[in-house]
Chains A and B, each alone.
Chain A
Amino acid sequence: MDDLLSEFLTETNENIGIVDAALVALEQNPDDGSQIDNIFRLVHTIKGTCGFLGLPRLEAVAHAGENVLGKIRDKELTVTADVVTIILEAMDVIKDLLETLEQTELEPEGNDADLIARLNDVAYGTVTASAGGSSNVVELVEEVSEADLEAAFAAAAGPDEVEAQIRPLVSQEVRPGEVSEAELEAAFNAAPGPDDEPDEPELVAEPVMEIPVVAEKKTPEVAAKDHAPKETSLANQSIRVNVELLEDLMTMVSELVLTRNQLLQMVRGMDDNEFTVPLQRLSHVTTELQEGLMKTRMQPIGNAWSKLPRIIRDLSNDLDKKIDLVMHGAETELDRQVLEMIKDPLTHMVRNSADHGLETPKERLAAGKKDTGRVVLDAYHEGGHIIITISDDGRGLNSEKIKAKVIENGLASEAELETMSIQQVQNFIMRPGFSTADKVTNVSGRGVGMDVVRSNIEKIGGTVELKSEEGKGSVFTIKIPLTLAIVSALIVECAGERFAVPQISVVELVRASTDGRSENTIELINEAPVLRLRDRLLPLIHLNEILRLETAADEIAEQSEVKGDEEFIIVTQVGAYTFGIVVDRVFDTEEIVVKPVAPILRHLSIFSGNTILGDGSVIMILDPNGIASQTGENLVGDHTIEEEMQRDTSENDKVAMLICRAGGNEPKAVPLSLVARLEEVDIETIERTNDQMVVQYRGKIMPLVTMSDNATIVETGRQPILVFTDNDRTMGLVVDEIVDIVEDHLNVEMASSVEGMIGSAVIRGKATDIIDVGYYLQKCFGDWFGGGETAAFGSESSSQKILLVDDSPFFRNMLVPLLSVAGYEVSTAENPTEALEMREAGKEFDIIVSDIEMPGMDGFQFAEEVLKDERWAGTPIIALSSHTTPQDFDRGRQVGFSDYVAKFDRDALMNTLSQTLRAGGGAR
């Protein structure tokens, strides 16, 4: 791009930013003369430069805007919201034009006659007195071409005269864009101009802008001569430097820092020697240099805020709200790279606060607040970080609304939400695709919002926290590193390799043991390591595992069981997800310069870069975000990371399973809660009656069943059995070996065609057959007592009808035989809808047993549905759920459940069933 053009673009964009802010300030304080002068001057400069560069469309808009501003300055027009709005509109058009210009280097086609006409209306339409003359002038300006003006100007005054007049001007400011209006005006007034032109600034500016060029062309030597000595103090104080140059310098200094560190490391081991003093000096200078250069990259955060007053003003107009924007700490400086990255997130968040956070004046007054809402931005340094808070005194976040939305979007179940803290619930708003705004407004509520903000901030190693109190407001706290170039990192060792972990994501370090000797012990849940850390369960990740660093030494250590007597856990936080990284050793922290990894390694999301340590070795920098996203999958399967965070919640869904072996090597499992006792019986005591193995057990005869007919029983010694009881009956299931008790999600993935098995599930990473206890009970007692007697078993009448509603085939399969054995006539429904269809079909049941957590309609809703219709209204409903907190009980009773039973408590279910039926029968 043309240098001149790019310069113009940068400068004009800056100026428009200032104009925006100044206009808003002017609106609030219309009598501020300096403000309008400033705005006028800036717009004038924009217009002038446009003319100079031959951008007629831009020029026309700027010109029309300037007319209005001129009237304001001359106090012919009062500042009103309408006036400010239309000028801001003109600025927006200019911005759009500039954008196109930047992309195409050409001014876009089209014209802005409508806007210009409206601007002129504002400028002249209301002030009739001056309307006639001025509008002529406007036309004149628009019609007169540059060439004409130049010609006219040349004719009016000899070049030499002009030179004499403008030489000081030229020497002060060579760039036309930066010539101040006052100077130009002064210069022009001094120069003899065409007499017929009125002394209107907008017109005056045209020829003046040409002057420097004319002058420079004709007397370069004079201009150059005078230029040097008369350089203004302004130019001396600041220069424009290409950002790339600064970036390069920064890289060089980073290298220097590294080399310095390296030297220091080498000398550290030695006693006093000749290097010590010069090295100290080098070290000192390097630090200064580094700090100095960092400062050149630093910009006040106010730069990122400059657009906000304008945005807030527009918002308050659009939304009919009264909003006060308060900004503290605008002078807080941070790295320009970081600044660029947070600009958009910040804007978005302020917008959100104003739109979602603040109420309308009416609502505010009703809530006993001032009608003007406040959005407060605050920025300050804190321990190598910049903290930015965005707070509003609005309505705060409505947890109920969020919960409803969460459920609607299927991000979590109602039961899961119940157990979450308010803060956890509120943090859902930072999930992708989440918006609580009822309507999608022009401003926000499009569902792409806070999640983008969060990911942008996390990209630069920052964090976002949210605190909100309903009715009082919300506070977002953003914590970002001062700079991205040099970060403090923790050096750790794992399997003999060293790695760096950025300090910002490290929350704390914990020393732990695996043998229970120290206070902190790593425990295993289904081989997933966890740590009890104060009041929560911290999921752990072994660094060597995710990096697949299983070295030979490690294996030996594992075998000798020496390993693991001490490990270090780096408690790491990524967003709301906290986890521990287990490493072998922790060294010290070191300042490192993050360098990107080679392109062929870019796909390794687990590293954010690499660097050279003080000792000269290369070290990989771990990216906690990458680790979290990688292991989130490994750890929790299809669950998301946040769900992992609420591990204690998800554990409710886990089922304790007894793993055993019987007839074959493959593991078999049975829900532990079904098992009454584990026993070992002496083979000698097993007797046979009626072709059935029995043992005398607690003074009674207990039948023994084997898993399959050809299962072998040990010849001597003791035989492990699982004892199942059913009221006063007991049954022993013969197994080869009781392996373990594990807690895991029970997810029957494959139905079994083999009798006695419900199906297969993955338990502890192995395909495991789930034993159908009901089948064996039936087999045992069916054979034992004969078919006819079963009906009388455990029930009062011969065939009480039960409807079982459960989405899980496992439970249906397991409960149906159990209930059938107990003498009930069982029908099943996969979901409430199916159940309700049965109602429509006119079926009747004595009792309904329903699951709570079901996709679509849940158990609570189902119960409400059932009670609504009189056909089934009298039918008692028993809730079956894995969650049995007091709240659940209450809720269940409220919606009309007769009772509430834990899912695996078979005895309780049987008791409840018979009690409820008895009570119900009595009532009828």
Chain B
Amino acid sequence: MTPKAAIRAEAETLFAAFRAEGALPVETDILQPAETLLDLYGEDIRARAYVTADPLRGEMMLRPDFTVPVVQAHMAHGAEPARYCYMGEVFRKQDSPSARANEYLQVGFELFDRTAPEQADAQVFALFARLLAPLSLRAATGDIGILMAAVRGLSTSDRRKAALLRHIWRPTRFRALLDRFSGRAPMPTARAALLDHLQKDSPEALTRAAGTLVGLRSAEDIAARARALIDDAATPPIAAPEAALLYDLLSLQAPARAALNHLRGITPMLPAIAPAVDRFAARLDALAALGIDTETLPFEASHGRTSLEYYDGFVFSFHAADPALPPVASGGRYDALTAVLGAGRSIPAVGGVIRPGLVARLKGVI
């Protein structure tokens, strides 16, 4: 068998396993409208997806993943609850010749269910763990929901919380903001100078004095942000003990049960995370009931923060021993994405993908 045929055979096997779980096969277009993906992921996606032009439909992208079109298909005409599976190529531009594949098969499984999200998380993870068990992979799990709950629970302004939440998937930026909001980093001199200037007169007068205003961003937009900056300068830093808890949470890395105990320990000091920690506990119980050893299952509170930015709850991945290889499988919960794509409607959703090419390679069949 040629490598491609062997990979295809591997994919068929995984696909059949997903179908056996009652998943409905879905087909999606390879050419996806660029606008939707750009609005979701921002310009960064351009560095990773192939962009092409259609004379009538405008900018299109070669499918960089299945989640978006599958959610769209479900939102357009899906019944609830639903489980879907799919198999096909995805395309990822590679900027260096270091040869990660730029075109590869993905086989995926998605579960849309309102009733018991933690059960759904556990089912998806246990299914992937079972299918991949022969490969003895290292699992990694996390829960972005706990981090988000911790940010929402901070005793600081809504604006600061929104800024942190907006950058939750950009760890460097998030860290810089947190350092500033908690007073660990001094105010940058540029910001101090800007605030100094803003104190001198009303934003409107200062804007007029700065010369001709050009462009679509209006004097009102400018004044609104100028006032927000002045307000923010008067906002006291996040209290040191609270900030310390968040830093602690960012670096929390432990076997899942131990992580749960740790989180239970800090919950009295950060009560806002209690519901998210309860969900974490319920998920671990559901995982244990499905035969996953939660005493040893690795957990990292920051896991999944650098991949495509839509996971907002449970996240997981499975890795081969060779650190140069991309994850063999990855997935997670993306409730917020369904709201963005659903135009007012949403449904809790969790799912993941497997790369049959890597499975075949690790099995030694290619």
A and B: real partners? no
Q: A residues within 8 Å of B by Cβ?
A: none
Q: B residues within 8 Å of A by Cβ?
A: none
